[in-house]
Amino acid sequence: MKKIVLYITILSGLTLSSCKKDFLDRVPRDGIVDETFWTTEEQLVLAVNALYANVKNKNTVDMDQMGDNTYNSSTTDYRNIAAGRYGIDVSTINNEWRNMYEAIRECNVFLANYNRAVTVSEARREELAAEARVIRAYTYAYLTLFYGDVPLITKPLSIDEVYGPRDPAQTVQDFILNELQEASVNLKAELPDKDNQGRMRKGAALGLKARYALYFGRYDVAEKAAKDVMDLGVYQLYNNGDPATTYNQFFTWAGKLVNGNNRETIIARINLTNVSVHNLSREIQVPDQSSRFNPTKSLVDAYLCSDGLPIDRSPLYKNGSYDEIFQNRDPRMVQTILTPGARWGGRYDGKPVNTNPDIFTTPKFVADRRGCVTVTGFYFTKYVELSTVGSVTQDQNDIHLLRYGEILLTYAEARFEQGTLTQEDLNNTINLLRTRVGMHPMVLTELEANGMDVRTEIRRERRIELALEGQRYFDIKRWKQGPLLAEPIKGMKKSWALVPADVANLRADAEGYIIVDDDRSFVDPKNYLWPVPLIQLDRNPNLGQNPGWQ
């Protein structure tokens, strides 16, 4: 995998375009050029490795800021998008469009040239081409999920072919699902060996097909693709044998693919010292600033009690104090959201200085550079590697982009939406996730007896299991629950604060919960799609604009 990351860096500056020649139309001898490049297996591998730079890394986690699970203490485009405070000139809106089409161009160039390597076996050429096709489909999925109709470009373009109209979203969706299915045929089923970790495999193509079919509302296709992944017999849920730590540990260095004990991850951006690192752990629990990832009251309240009932129905739920709300809850809550008594990197506990700052006891609201500040009263512990919280950009956590746990959730939801979900289906999917952490199983007869809606609980399960993994925003949109994004962002009760003066000036609702942001809106249908970026419209008026945007 180190080789893959290095090649991404090396090739980022090399020529992958078929239209770059010198002004005398001669082939240079001192660099890599199109005329002489596409001839050996090594060159094809090098080119494919460069394409992996287009697979999202830590920015996948950042995208959770667009939903209602977490709130950034700083003003960012993602935070404003979630709140409906953005226009067609926002940089993120244009950057995603530009970056995705740059990725597609690179994939198209590879796919237009890979068969020139005639000395490489057809099977090997098609395997590498399949990796490129998966990455291209992955890229197109983001485009159509963000913008709806987008230009579908499948070949390197000359300048006079660039300025065409958008293709219908359904056409793009058909292309994505077909590409992933065809790519899966030429990819190996088994997990990559140590030197090839991070490469796309059959499970990646089929798993993405399951995800996007679910996003597109094609439940029969999603069910089939998810079952195909399950039937590969290659993947299994990560488990260290301890229900109290296994879920959390998966998202730390212990769950890195290079350790060889993780068979759950299907697609990841692998990070290695001196090769590729990020800053996620520090941003979550930064010890001298404000956390960039603040769990919301909405997420905290979503966790069931340990009896399988919501907090408004379970006799186990108590909220008389900060400590109490963490008791008798789904075990994934304390493995996702920091609980009093847990180790942390924020290095402040709000008590006299002789206490242990490495143990979290109470949230901090005053910014004095003596500990991690929260705006909601909550902190994440998921994705935090404590050894790197104190250092800037030293985090080696793998970013898990697609994992077997999601496949199980997809299968259950697809079956339900087709009216075919059975208790056996739940036992083979959602209840495997719950068993891993020692949580009460989901039982259809119990849900009915307690007046609980099955669809609501399946969606809750997805939210809980995949929190901070960048999918909540897309789920809210596909479920047509946009008004959730217009609801105020709230935090803990002010009465739970150890030092009342620290929260005295914070606004609160009628029940005493902190109001963090109530200047939010969601316009239907406008905000279900991003606008076509202003700069792209200026370049190509044929693109047109999405409903409600000007």
Return the sign of the alpha-carbon dihedral for residues 263, 268, 271, 277.
Answer: negative
Number of domains the chain contains: 1
CA distance 316 to 307: 8
The Cα–Cα gap between 88 and 65 comes to 19
In a domain, 238, yes or no: no
Residue 30 is assigned to a structural domain of this protein: yes
Q: Let me know if residue 377 belongs to a domain.
A: no
Contact present, 377 and 514 (Cβ < 8 Å): yes
Per-residue pLDDT of the chain (550 residues; tens, 9 = 90+): 444 444 444 344 343 444 433 433 444 454 456 778 999 999 999 999 999 999 999 999 999 999 999 999 999 999 999 999 999 999 999 999 999 999 999 999 999 999 999 999 999 999 999 999 999 999 999 999 999 999 999 999 876 667 889 999 999 999 999 999 999 999 999 999 988 999 999 999 999 999 999 999 999 999 999 999 999 999 999 999 999 999 999 999 999 999 999 999 999 999 987 788 999 999 999 999 999 999 999 999 999 999 999 999 999 999 999 999 999 999 999 999 999 999 999 998 666 655 789 999 999 999 999 999 999 999 999 999 999 999 999 999 999 999 999 999 999 999 999 999 999 999 999 999 999 999 999 999 999 999 999 999 999 999 999 999 999 999 999 999 999 999 999 999 999 999 999 999 999 999 999 999 999 999 999 999 999 999 999 999 999 999 999 8
Cβ–Cβ under 8 Å, residues 270 and 256: yes
- Give the pLDDT score at 300: 98
CATH code of the domain containing 9 = 1.25.40.890
Domain annotation covers residue 443: no
pLDDT at position 328 is 98
Q: What is the DSSP letter of 44?
A: H
pLDDT, position 332: 98
Residue 131 forms part of a structural domain: yes
Distances (CA, A) of 467 to 223, 257, 324, 381: 22, 20, 22, 11
- What is the sign, positive or negative, of the torsion defined by CA atoms of 99, 105, 107, 110? negative
The answer to the question of residue 124 being in a domain is yes
pLDDT at 355: 78
Answer whether 218's CB lies under 8 Å from 201's CB. Answer: no
Residue 47, domain member (yes or no): yes
What pLDDT score does 163 carry?
A: 81
Residue 31 belongs to a domain? yes
In the prediction, which pLDDT does 158 show? 74
Could you list the beta-strand ranges (E) of 309-432.
399-403
What is the domain extent for residue 141? 1-62+90-166+177-186+536-550
* pLDDT for the residue 256: 96
